[in-house]
Structure formats: structure tokens, C-alpha cells
Amino acid sequence: MYGEELPEVVKERLERELHSIISNGFAVMYIIAQKLVWKSMEDGYMVGSRGSVGSSFVAYMAGISEVNSLRPHYICPKCHYTDFDSDLVKSYAGNSGCDMPDRDCPVCGGKLNKDGFDIPFETFLGFKGDKEPDIDLNFSSEYQSKAHKYTEVIFGNGQTFRAGTISGLADKNAYGYVKKYYERLQIPKRSGEINRQLTHLVGIKTNTGQHPGGIIVLPKGEEIDTFTPVQRPANKEEAESITTHFDYHSIEHNLLKLDILGHDDPTMIRYLHDLTGIDPLGVPLDDPEVMELFISTKSLGIRPDDIGGTQLGCLGLPEFGTDFAMNMVIEAKPKTFSHLIRISGLSHGTNVWSGNAQDLIRDGIATIDTAICTRDDIMLYLIKQGLEEAAAFKIMEQVRKGKGLSGEQQEMMRNAGVPEWYIESCLKIQYMFPKAHAAAYVTMCWRIAWFKVHRPQDYYAAWFSIRSKHFDYEHICCGAAVLAEHMAEYKRLEAEKKLSTAQKNEMYDMRMAQEMYARGIEFLPLDLYRAKARHFTVIEDKIMPSINCVNGMGDTAARAIEEAAKAGPFLSVEDFRNRSKCPGPSAEVLKKLGILGDIPESNQMSIFDLMKN
């Protein structure tokens, strides 16, 4: 990527990181992560990085992370010319390279690539390189189980275990137990006394389970019983996986834990790639039409009035598609990719936006560029103000964990010219996102957003296939007018606070369909001979719904129908039910919606039909 003769910036960063990684014994973690990622990529599924591992340039070079943590720079893919030090490049310090203007290579004349997110390695391993690393990876939810099994291939059978979890008694349940206990004894107790008593019960173990993605690795030559008992989750004998009995937090300092988590975004990327043949990794991160989605609905070719007043085009996009996130985007007024990373940091923190950065931005005290958005901001800003690196790192670590600032640290910051509003902001924070995690999320979001702008039919087909929560064919696929009627009814129920969780999920699917209709895209009537069981498909610029989106139709029944349809036309409803094993109620729904078309009720001819023939 950088040629035979590495630029000094690249060489220095690699050597510094490799020294920390290898000398502290963390190299094996990188190799394990690399093997898992490479295997997933080989099988056609992209992997997203989580946490601060993207701060490591070695992780990027090893293919573990998609985030290039070097400072912004230009690089020629042909002759390997690089520019790290021109005045233009230096002016983008702390921001993303993709925000820089386009330039041609002064050596070969080709178009230069723009790269780098300017993220310090120290966020991952600390200035001494001895901070305990945690490499978290987001695999496609469709591929997660295969990644878990591949750990057995890497380490050998019997060397890996699912990380266990222990559920404790919650406040509400404990309150009920104490209250009912005294009611049974017919002893009246005030709520204050019940609250005092329940403190002895909260947290008591109630059940065991398994971590959604944690894999515990046992060193060769060791017995798992040395560290923890093992069991089948929730004591279910039929469960395939064996978990540690102790919660993984209790043993994570003794045994290696891998986080192999399932996520919908890599699945979306895979499906979009399959639908379009376009490599998502080649999507430009500086497309102005994609950026416009975070400013208005202009890129979609519609007005806010067309979609119920939604002011932005980022409905349905990961990280930015909720009303909360969109309101944050509207207030923050992003103009660049870097701003989106900062907003992602704000939205994932605790006490970082509401009652903190939001008020500072509203009052004109800070901007999206100067407010504290990610944990890296604190360390870099304090070093720039003149604090020692170790002190700046310690303050960042305390603040991002919600431990506040000591009086001595506050005085140190004031002496360095740090304004009071900045110190107050630090004291309010309970948890902070690393910039590398935010950069990885926004990069994934941007790639998906590119398809929303430039390949809309494929985008909506992928979204409804992967991210839809409660899609109802009858409410959504019968045209914009029918959809509008159901949305109006749901809004009335919402105003009366009578909307169920399932209806709230369906309402979001309805909003996505409303946007799709507004862009001139339509659904095809469900055709059992052309539709897929679980996935929406694009046929002649229209979208064919999946079979399982019919109300009451499960995945198993939908798959059976898809397989039965491959064998040829159904001769009758009776033949359809026999071949597809479709339950009677589901068959009635299909018939009511006209999906069974002209299929007769039975294929047995009457004497009159025979005489006609």
C-alpha cells in the first residue's frame, strides 16, 4: 500500500506499535483476530471492528480493522507517492482524510486516495503499551455461529468455551418478593421499609446464560476446572454449547476472552454486494450526495412533507436512523465525515450529549468541533494544552469510565488554561465512546447510505430483508394509499399511548415503506413462484416481498413454500397445502390476500367438468 520504501511516518508508527504489542505479549491476540477476520472475508462476509482496536495502525495493516488511524494524508495507489506534511494536509489534523479536497498525483498524474482518521494508538494500549487490550469484532449475524466454530479449528477441540453470564435479581422483582412476603404474613409494611429490605436481595443469582459473543480460550496443558466450573446454559441438557459457570468478568484476567459478536450491518453489506455486484469497500467516502442525507432529503428527490415531516434522508441508516439520532444530527449541523464521527461518539456516550454537549452547542459555548465527543478528544486536547502525556491519559481514562476528576486534576487543567465549561463537561460524563469505534460505525453506515442514494431498490430490498422488525404485507405492500390509512390509525394509537411494542416496530417499517413509495418505488404483488422465503428481491425495478412477511407466516413455513413452488405449479389449494405443509390459517390468509390467485380449491373434477372436457 505504501510502497517498498515506507514513509517515515508509517515506519515509525508501525515500529512503535509492534514494540508495544510484541514486548507485552499481545501479538497472539492480533494473530487470532486476523485469522478469524480473514476466514470470514474469505467466506464472503465483511467484519466490522468495535472498541478502540481501530486506534492501532497494526490492526489496520493486518486486516483486523477497517480504520486507518494515521493522520490524514494523500497516497497514490499507482506510484505510492504520499503527502503527510503539506500545509493543506496539516490543516486537517484531528479530522478525516476523506474530507480533504481531491488532488492528482504530482508524480504520475493519477487520482490520489485520501486516507487517515488521526487516532492515537495510546487509546488502545496506553503510553506504556501495557493497558490490557480487548479486540472486539462485529461479524455478520448470519456468520457468527461459523466464526464461533472456527475458534475450535484454531485452538483445537475442547480448548474453547462460551462465556457464561449470571443474571441477578432486579429491583422491581425484589420489591414484589418482599411485599408479597409480608402480605402473606399479614404484617403491614411501609414502602420505605420494603425498599430497605430489598437491598439484601438485589443481585442474588436467579439464572445462568451465555454471553452473546464471548469465547473463553483455555491455554494448552491446562484444565478448565482450574479456573471455573462449566455447564450447559440454563441447565438445559439439550444445549450444544458448554459455558463457563462464572461470569466472564470474574475470570477475564486469567483467561483470554474473544468477542465474536453478531451484527446486522455486515449482513446488509453482503446482501447489497450480492444484489448489485458492487464492492462496498470501493464506495467513496467523500460523495456529496451521501453527505446530503445528513442535511436534508434532497438526495432522495423528495420533500419532508412527503414522508411525514422527517427532515433528513438518514431514516433506516445504522447509527443515524432513529428519531433521537436524527434530532441530534439536526442540532449538530454536520458538514463533513469527521462531524458524523463526532456525532456517533456523542450518541453512544452516557451523559455526553443530553444535559452536556447539547446545551453547550445550543448556548453557543461550544460547537460540534470543540465539544467533547469521544474519549480521544480529552487526551489530545489536554496534551495540546501542555499537560504531560501520562496525566492526560489518566484523566481521559477516569472521565470515560465516569469516575470524574480529582481536585488536583481540576487544578492542573485550570493551570493549563482549560476553560471551566470543559472541566464541568468532564465531570458530567459517565461513559465515552472511543473515536476508532465511532469511525468504524460511520464508515459502515456511509457504505450502506451510498446504496440508499445510488441503488435505492436494492437498498430497500436489503433493509426490509435484514433490518425489518415487524413487516406486515397487508398493511405495507398494497399501495401508498393503504399504507397511509394504517399509519394514520397507528399515529392515533400512539397519541393515546396505546401503541404496542410490535406496532411501534411495524410503524418504523411503515415509515421506510412511505419513503420508498415517495421515491417512486413500488412493491410487486407477492408471487409464490418468484418470491424468496426470507429475502426481498428486485424484479424489473420493483420490489418483490418475501413470503414470510405475510402476517402469521413463520420462516419455516415460508421456506417450505419456496421449496414446494420449485417443483411446479400448484394444482389446487389442497395440492398447495399438501406439498408446502402450510398451516390452514396461513393458507387462508394467502387466499384472502389473493396470493393464491386462480388456484382452485380442489383438483378433483366434478362429473360436469369431465363432460365439458
What CATH number has the domain bearing residue 475?
Answer: 1.10.150.870
Total domains in the fold of the chain: 3
Same domain, 120 and 159: no
Tell me the per-residue pLDDT of 519-550, one tens digit each, with 9 for 90 and over. 999 999 999 999 999 999 999 999 999 999 99
Whether 167 is covered by a domain: the verdict is yes
Same domain, 43 and 158: no
- Average predicted confidence (pLDDT) for the chain: 91
SS (H, E, C) 32-79: HHHHHHHHHHHCCCCCEEEHHHHHCHHHHHCCCCCCCCCCCEEECCCC
Q: What is the pLDDT of residue 407?
A: 93
Same domain, 178 and 104: no
Of the ranges 87-101, 152-166, 224-238, which one carries the lowest mean pLDDT score?
A: 224-238
* CATH assignment at residue 158: 3.30.1900.20
Query: Are 79 and 110 within 8 A, CB to CB?
Result: yes
Work out the pLDDT band at 251, boundaries 50, 70, 90: confident
User: Which residues fall within 8 angstroms of residue 273, CB to CB, at 6 or more apart?
Assistant: 279, 280
Cell numbers 411494542 correspond to 501
Alpha-carbon torsion, ordered 583, 588, 591, 593, to 10 deg: -110
Whether 501 is covered by a domain: the verdict is yes
Give the mean pLDDT of 193-200: 87
Whether 564 is covered by a domain: the verdict is yes
d(CA 253, CA 497): 47
Q: What is the pLDDT of residue 602?
A: 59
Whether 492 is covered by a domain: the verdict is yes
Q: Burial, 169: exposed, middle or buried (Cβ in 10 Å; 0-12, 13-18, 19+)?
A: middle
Considering 214, 231, 260, which residue would you say is the last residue of a domain? 260
Q: What is the pLDDT of residue 15?
A: 96
Q: Give the global pTM.
A: 0.88
Report the SS3 class of residue 537: strand
Whether 375 is covered by a domain: the verdict is no
d(CA 46, CA 36): 11
H or E segment to which residue 390 belongs: helix 389-400
pLDDT of residue 515 exceeding 80, the answer is yes
pLDDT of residue 611 exceeding 50, the answer is no
- CA nearest 344: which of 449, 450, 436? 436
Q: What is the pLDDT of residue 270?
A: 94
For the chain, the residue count is: 613
Same domain, 196 and 248: yes
Same domain, 82 and 184: no
Paired with 214 in beta bridges are: 259
Considering 260, 276, 299, which residue would you say is the last residue of a domain? 260
Can you list the pairs that 512-515 forms with residues at least 24 positions away whose Cβ atoms lie under 8 Å? 512/315, 512/316, 512/460, 512/463, 512/464, 512/468, 513/476, 513/477, 513/483, 514/307, 514/308, 514/480, 514/483, 514/484, 514/487, 515/300, 515/302, 515/307, 515/310, 515/315, 515/316
Same domain, 496 and 555: yes
Same domain, 40 and 121: yes
Whether 522 is covered by a domain: the verdict is yes
Same domain, 118 and 163: no
Work out the pLDDT band at 125, boundaries 50, 70, 90: confident
Whether 393 is covered by a domain: the verdict is no
Same domain, 92 and 217: no
H or E segment to which residue 575 belongs: helix 573-580
Query: Which three cell numbers mark 313?
Result: 434522508
Tell me the per-residue pLDDT of 130-171, one tens digit each, with 9 for 90 and over. 677 778 889 999 999 899 899 989 988 888 888 888 888 888
What is the largest distance, in Å, between two alpha-carbon atoms of the chain? Answer: 104
Of the ranges 48-57, 126-135, 370-379, 551-560, which one carries the lowest mean pLDDT score?
A: 126-135
Whether 541 is covered by a domain: the verdict is yes
pLDDT of residue 606 exceeding 60, the answer is no
Report the SS3 class of residue 9: helix
Tell me the per-residue pLDDT of 362-402, one tens digit each, with 9 for 90 and over. 999 999 999 999 999 999 999 999 999 889 999 999 999 99
Query: Which three cell numbers mark 111?
Result: 487520482
Q: What is the pLDDT of residue 613?
A: 45
Give the mean pLDDT of 430-458: 96
Considering 198, 226, 260, which residue would you say is the last residue of a domain? 260
Query: Which three cell numbers mark 356?
Result: 452536556
Give the mean pLDDT of 285-313: 96
Q: Please state whether 536 falls in left (phi above 0), alpha (psi between -120 and 50) or beta.
A: beta
What b/e sequence results for 489-499 when a residue is b if at least 16 CB atoms lie within 10 Å of its CB, and e otherwise? ebeeeeeeeeb
The DSSP symbol for 355 reads I
Give the mean pLDDT of 503-523: 96
What sign does the CA torsion over 134, 135, 137, 143 have? Answer: negative
pLDDT of residue 572 exceeding 70, the answer is yes
Same domain, 121 and 46: yes
Q: Please state whether 540 falls in left (phi above 0), alpha (psi between -120 and 50) or beta.
A: left
Same domain, 462 and 565: yes
Q: What is the pLDDT of residue 610?
A: 39
Can you list the pairs that 573-581 forms with residues at least 24 positions away whose Cβ atoms lie under 8 Å? 573/599, 573/600, 573/601, 573/602, 574/601, 574/602, 574/603, 575/599, 575/603, 581/557
H or E segment to which residue 244 belongs: strand 243-247
Same domain, 62 and 157: no
Domain that holds residue 63: 8-125
How far is residue 127 from each of residues 66, 123, 253, 395, 597, measured CA to CA in Å?
23, 8, 21, 13, 69
Query: Which three cell numbers mark 55?
Result: 486506534
The neighbour count for residue 386, using CB atoms within 10 Å, is: 11
